Structure 1
Amino acid sequence: MTTRIELLKPTIAMLGSYVSALEAGWSPDNVRKEIAAREQLDAIKLNATAFVDGLDDPTASGGPISLPDGSTVARLPGIVRWIWDGAVSGAIGFRWRPGTAELPPHVLGHIGFSVVPWRRGNGYARQALSLMLEEARLRGLPYVELTVDPDNMASQRVIAACGGLVIERFRKTAAYGNAQALRYRIDLHD
């Protein structure tokens, strides 16, 4: 039986559970992994309220973001939701450009997700992605794109289970190390 999860807007009340997941070795960032987890722990120590508030930024008011190569780019509107089953069991983010489904070259996809290792294999990622697709529909997007490393079979299965089809194999930009990736598209028309 699959445990039902919820996607919740991050709050200070849930932050302890999120910190525990980070301290246990999980990272919400599939590209920068441990570096991103450490940066988040540092940001939480510095100002927990600002950290939590910054995760929900549908107007892109948070200022520029740093890419893995250290360069900075303009922030897109975006939201992060914590995957919740009584504790933070992962995170899923959604970013977009108002008025278009197209993304700038430095943005690898509309949606990214990560489930804590001790909850993987329980359908959490599929449920979270399905729920986030509803958010994308509400924003009027005709489709979303997600990218995945060619060896990440688990994420490929999750995306395919939610209607994703591979549209290209490509090399990530230099900011992401020029690595091979697969781009999936999920059509949001009913």
Structure 2
Amino acid sequence: MSREQLRQLRRDPEQFLHDLYNSPMIRRPDGREVPRLPAHDFWISDGAFCGRIGFRFQRGTEELPAHSYGHIGYTIVPWKQRRGYATQALRMILPVCRAEGFSRVLITCDDDNEPSRKVILANGGVPAGTVPHTTRPGHVKLAFWVPTEPG
């Protein structure tokens, strides 16, 4: 989560959740507003807030709009990182993806984000090339297909 998102959450949790889930548009990091995709979002908790994970999709197709890097995005607050929360959260959201009819999902991570790459690989991620990084010149996103069936 960004520092600004954490500030908004602490300042007014109800408004933060309302804006997060009820707006028909979302603001991209580059400032553009784009239509919100159907999604399943979950809070990650160990009794206290650890982060969130979400599955966004278009019904009936693996395809995603150009502004979406992948089907799944997750973030863990800095003080809870490297405890296995993201790996477990990804494992737990895959049956949700399968229930929506997906046999695999596309997940990307920054080329220099080794912890996220390990999370994806631990869940069966298969490298699928790279995509341009729209907000970090000189960097790319690593793309992986992750099967939604265990094993």
TM-score range, shorter chain: 0.7 to 0.9
Instruction: Report SS of the residue matched to 1:99.
Output: coil
Q: 1:70 offset after TM fit, Å?
A: 1.3
Instruction: Report SS of the residue matched to 1:109.
Output: coil
* Bigger RCO (CA 8 Å, 6+ sep): 1
* C-alpha distance 79-102 of structure 1, shift in aligned 2 (>3 A): same
| Residue matched to 1:180 | 140
Instruction: Report SS of the residue matched to 2:44.
Output: strand
Among residues 30, 33, 48, which one is paired with 2:13 in the alignment?
48
Instruction: Report SS of the residue matched to 1:69.
Output: coil
Q: 1:39 offset after TM fit, Å?
A: 4.5
Q: 1:42 offset after TM fit, Å?
A: 3.4
- Asked if residue 146 in structure 1 is aligned to residue 79 in structure 2, the reply is no
| Bigger proportion of residues as strand | 2
| Residue matched to 2:36 | 75
Contact 2:94 2:149 in 1 (8 A): no
Take 2:55 and 2:43, find their aligned partners in 1: how far apart are those partners?
A: 12
Q: 1:134 offset after TM fit, Å?
A: 1.3
Take 1:183 and 1:117, find their aligned partners in 2: how far apart are those partners?
A: 23
Q: TM-score w.r.t. structure 2 length?
A: 0.86
Instruction: Report SS of the residue matched to 1:107.
Output: coil
Contact 1:103 1:109 in 2 (8 A): yes
Q: Structure 2: state its 5+ residue gaps.
A: none
Say what the alpha-carbon RMSD is for the aligned residues. Answer: 2.1
Deviations 1:115-168 (A, max 9, x none): 222322221111000001111111111211111111111111110010101101
Take 2:113 and 2:8, find their aligned partners in 1: how far apart are those partners?
A: 29
Name the aligned partner's letter for residue 187 of structure 1.
Answer: P
Take 2:6 and 2:81, find their aligned partners in 1: how far apart are those partners?
A: 22
| Residue matched to 1:18 | none
Among residues 100, 118, 135, which one is paired with 2:79 in the alignment?
118
Q: 1:40 offset after TM fit, Å?
A: 5.3
Q: TM-score w.r.t. structure 1 length?
A: 0.70
Aligned pair count reads 149
Q: Structure 1: state its 5+ residue gaps.
A: 1-27
